[in-house]
Every structure is written in structure tokens, then in C-alpha cells.
Chains A and B, each alone.
Chain A
């Protein structure tokens, strides 16, 4: 089985670009990825592309071929939709294709346009990731769902809004030097605690912003990288996916994310590592509580132990295992369908040494990306390792 190399990566700025089309955003991200890769557009054998709410935001379905065209690629193209994990599952398909010998060079990525819908429209659109009959009709919003998980966590394990505020403060601080981030400003614990409530116990600073943006990566086989003399030092050595019941009410756990636990186990087993081998991670912190659930699902902490990780300084830039050096979804932004691949982009740069925060982890060899859909009814985990 051949290995899978990350030949090149690209992002747009993440932020408010309500006037830009999805196709323009993806074209820009793919342009950066190709320029970074040294791979010819002609060699691309497929596009796997993630997008969540294109029908609602742009009246545009069937986005695969549209985005291949935007990227200058003449190849079969498929859109993947798994809510916020849409491009995480797209990456997984590409990894399998390369390993199976089906393809030697592929384009993966995702894009989302959200700000043109406004806050109310985005709240409504994001809610379709929940069960319409049993959750949305009871007034459940996306922040509301994570608030239900946060309350259940506090009730079972303890923890406070101040613990969550430390996560927001940390991720804002990490985003400061990241030119792609939506927020490049520091916030204080007091600001986070005093912000208006969205869904108690979560306030405005516990939530990721509404973001437009795109991400892309060119993946190739080991053989292709060698034949073409590519400088592609980072490999995807493990991929995992897990699933859970759609609605929170159908779950075994309200304060844990077994889908991500499953995904992590599978990805670690493929890579032949365990949690202790991971130097750095990008995790799906759509809300501050989601970072806590992610760190426990990845087995960095036992259930109930990750709530204080940021407060104790273990996950900050100078901590033992920095989490979300990009700024995470919280500060970098969360263009839903683009997020999974954007984590791959950030982690590749962190491990290559050309990320603005690479100097925080100069010896890092192994990184993990964790991408969750909805309230973690879908999850993917990828292991990235420096191989040359």
C-alpha cells in the first residue's frame, strides 16, 4: 500500500466576504495549493470537495463539477456533505483512493459562503444539521445543542464558564500571527464572561464566528512525489471516521463524543501510534465546549479531565501539547464545508515549519486533525507525520 503525501496546501482569508461567490473562494484556495505543490493541473484524477449549505446560501447544488471548473481541473468531481465534517470525509475518500492505487494525484478541499445570509439566516441554515422533527421543532439551534452538551458536561464532571473562557482566550492568542484568521485580536477572560449569552451557559465568545472561506490541498502517492521530485515532507498516515445517532436525545452520552473516539482509534491504529505520540493537534472547536470533548475523544485526557487544560496552560502555545495553533474554529473562523481541509492545511504548515506558529513546536513530527459534523454525529480524525 502506497503512502499519501500532502504535496501542496492553500487557503483564502477566513472572514466576511459576503460579496464573493463560493466558486471564486475555492478558485483562490486551489490556486495557492497548486502553486505550493508543483503538481500540474493535468495530473489531477479527481476532486473531492466539501460543502454544507450551498443550496441555502447560494441556491447552488451539484457543486463538484462547478468547483473543478473553478480550479482549472478536468476530472470527475464529487461533493461531500457531512455538515461541519464535509471536507474531513472528502479527505478520507482521497486518502483511500491513493492507497488503493486508484489515483496518484487528487485535489481535495471545501468552501462555504455564510455571511450573505445574515445571523438569523445562518442560524436557521446551520440548524438543518440537527434532526428537524425532534430537535429543530423544539427550538434547538446549533449553539443551543452545544449548550445542552456543556450543561450535561458540567453536571457530570464539573467545570465552569471560566474554564471555557480560557479556551477562547487561548485560541484568540494563537490566531494573532495567522494572516488567514478572521479574528487577529486578543480577548480577556472578563470580556468572554461578560459577553451576551447565546444559549446558556454559552456566550458570544464561546462560539465560532460566521465565516466565508475556502481551503484546498493536493494529495499524491509516494511514487508520484518521488518521480516528480516534489518537496512534500508530510504524509497522512492514518484516517478514521466514526458515527453516532443524529439527535442528542438518541445518544448513549450527552457529555462525550463516541463518534470521534471511534475515528481517533481507527486513525491511531493505522498510523501505529497512540495519543502519547501526538505533538500537536487542530481540533473542531466550533464552541469552546467542543474543544473539551475533542481532547477527551482523542484520548489526550480521560473523560472529565480536559475542561481545565487551557486554564492549566497545557494546551497553550508554550504548553506540553498545543491545541489549535491556527486559532481554531473559534478565532480562525469556521466556513463549515472548508473547515476539515483547512485543519489539514494548517497542520501541514505547522509540521513543515512554515506556519507563523511553527516555532512553538520546533520538534513536532506528529500532528492530528479532528473534524466533527453536527453535534458529532459524524467525525473524522487524520494523523499527519513528517516522513522526510
Chain B
């Protein structure tokens, strides 16, 4: 799956792995994620790197039982969307999360391919 580099995204994963996660913020306070040149909300191009809040909150989640081949050995697994300040992230989560659970974001890997992915852990 990830057999090519994705400049901007790969560095962002490195930063999260190192405990220095960030999002991009325009002068109007809109948050977005890399790779990004232009604020999707207002078109501003002066995007600043802002530290990602340490705690996020799960807004929705699902336990996936039928996966694509790249996650075949991971099933069942939980995918969640969690809000970290002005941005939301999507990641594989601890199996007992619910809507409202506080989580941190780490870098984990797919059991099937070993590819890096976002992982939400209960705080």
C-alpha cells in the first residue's frame, strides 16, 4: 500500500512518533493537516505549525469485521474519529473506546502489512 513516499504526510507521522504532533493553523484559527499549502476554509497561505493537543475525544467509532486485504490479519479492529482541538484525526483505536472516550495519538502499525498508522490509546 505505502510503496511510495508522501512528503508532508510522512514527516507528520515522524513528528507524532517523536511526541511532537502538530496541525496547521491559518491566521483565522482554522486547523488542517499536511500536506497542505492552502487553508481549506479560507484560502489563506500563511499556515503555521501548531502543537497538537495531547488529549483528543472520540466522536465516533466502528469495529470492522470485513477488511480490505491490507488489513486482513487485523480483523476485528476498531477505527475511530477523534477530535484534537480544531482538527479531527482518524485512527485505529483500543477496542474498548466509546463516544466521549479521551485518547492520545501514537504511531502503531498494521498487523497485516507492518505499515505505520495512527493509533488512539485510552488516556
Interface residues of A (CB under 8 A from B): 119-121, 123-124, 127, 133-141, 143-144, 147-149, 151-152, 155, 196-202, 245, 247-250, 254
In the complex, A247→B80 CA distance in Å? 13
A376 to chain B, nearest CB (A): 15
Which residue of chain B has the shortest Cβ distance to A131 in the bound complex? B90
Instruction: Check A140–B79 contact: CB distance below 8 A.
Output: yes
Q: Say whether, besides A137-B2, A137-B115, A138-B118, A249 and B65 are in contact (CB < 8 Å).
A: no
Q: A345: shortest Cβ distance to chain B, in Å?
A: 30
Q: Shortest 6 CB-CB distances between A and B: which pairs? A: A147-B62, A249-B88, A124-B68, A152-B60, A200-B63, A138-B90
| B62:A148 contact, CB within 8 angstroms | yes
The residues of B that contact A124 with a CB separation of less than 8 Å are: 68-70
A198 touches which of B1, B9, B65, B99 (Cβ 8 Å): B65
**Cβ–Cβ < 8 Å partners of A247 in chain B:** 90
User: Contacting B68 at CB < 8 Å: which of A127, A148, A250?
Assistant: A127
List the interface of chain B (C-beta within 8 A of A).
1-2, 6, 9, 32-33, 40, 59-72, 74, 77, 79-81, 87-92, 99, 110, 115, 117-118
Q: How far is the CB of A384 from chain B (nearest CB, A)?
A: 35
Residue of A nearest to B82 (CB): A249
* B66: chain A residues within 8 A (beta carbon): 119, 123, 141, 143, 198-199
Query: Nearest chain-A residue to B74 (Cβ)?
Result: A139
Cβ distance A131 to chain B, nearest Cβ, rounded Å: 8
Q: State whether A249 and B40 are in contact (beta carbons under 8 Å apart), knowing that A138-B118, A151-B61, A152-B59 are contacts in the complex.
A: no
Whether B69 pairs with A199 at a CB distance below 8 angstroms is no
- Shortest C-beta distance, B55 to chain A (Å), equals 17
The contact of A254 among B59, B77, B117, by CB within 8 Å, is: B59
Interface hub of B64, B70, B92 (most chain A Cβ within 10 A) = B64
Q: With the chains together, A384 CA to B99 CA distance in Å?
A: 41
How long is the Cα–Cα vector from A198 to B69 in the complex, in angstroms? 14
Interface pair B90/A248, CB less than 8 Å apart: yes
